[in-house]
Amino acid sequence: MIAVNVDCAEKNGECFVFPISDIPSVVKGKEMNKHHGFYILVPQDVFYVLDNPAVEFYSAHLYSRNQVMLKVPSFPHSLLNHRDEIETVVPDIFTAGLDNSRHYFVDGKARREFKHILLNFPAHFELSASEICGEAGVNESLEMETIKIKFATRGCATRLFSIGRRGRWLGLTLGLTNGESLTCQEKAKLPLR
């Protein structure tokens, strides 16, 4: 469980949680209502998706009024599937440990393939996606979108970072619907337009 820090986007485990405002409502008759909420970024290991697009490797749902449950692959694709390339750049003792872990993982794949991350927002927040995404309701799946970020780095020649030119993230938006607004301190941290 990650106790979400709404004041520091980067202090939420492997996720980033950004406070946002002016989220339009999709509820008929409430189109003019604007909500405060959060945009959550989750790193995506694109190789899983490329290897088997039919499998849902990533998902999110509203677990309770102030909790979001994420399902993500538990083992990085490169460590599972690129052992020979890794062996050439790490000590033998690491390769032995990696091999043992990979074998245990494959033997128990049905129960170990995914991990669940519970994002626990402050207790006074009431999260909802139904006001801002028409199909989402309590305990229903939240829509995640793949965000492709193209970037370049200088001097990065190692093969382990061959995907380093593209970053992939999954993003989802949640609104605060209990009339809650962000505190002055939280609003001050919103990005400038």
Note whether 109 and 74 are within 8 A (CB): no
Which is more confidently placed, 162 or 45?
45
Render pLDDT for 116-131 as a digit per residue (tens, 0 to 9).
Answer: 999 999 999 888 776 6
Terminal Cα-to-Cα distance of the chain (whole angstroms):
32
Is 117 exposed, middle or buried, given 0-12, 13-18 or 19+ CB atoms closer than 10 A?
middle
- Residues 69-80 as b/e (b if ≥16 CB within 10 A, e otherwise) read bbbbbebebeeb
Q: 132 pLDDT band (50/70/90 cuts)? A: low
All structural domains of the chain with their residue ranges: 2-74+113-188
**pLDDT score at 36:** 81
pLDDT exceeds cutoff 50 at 193: no
Share the mean pLDDT of the chain. Answer: 77
Distance (Å, whole) CA 190 – CA 193: 9
**pLDDT score at 184:** 32
- Model pTM greater than 0.95? no
Of 33-37, 81-85, 152-156, 164-168, the one with minimum mean pLDDT is: 164-168
Render pLDDT for 170-189 as a digit per residue (tens, 0 to 9).
Answer: 666 666 665 554 433 333 33
Helices H / strands E in the chain, number of each? 6, 9
Render pLDDT for 58-72 as a digit per residue (tens, 0 to 9).
Answer: 998 889 889 999 999
Render pLDDT for 3-44 as a digit per residue (tens, 0 to 9).
Answer: 999 999 999 999 999 998 887 776 677 767 777 888 898 988
- Which residue type is seen at 187? K
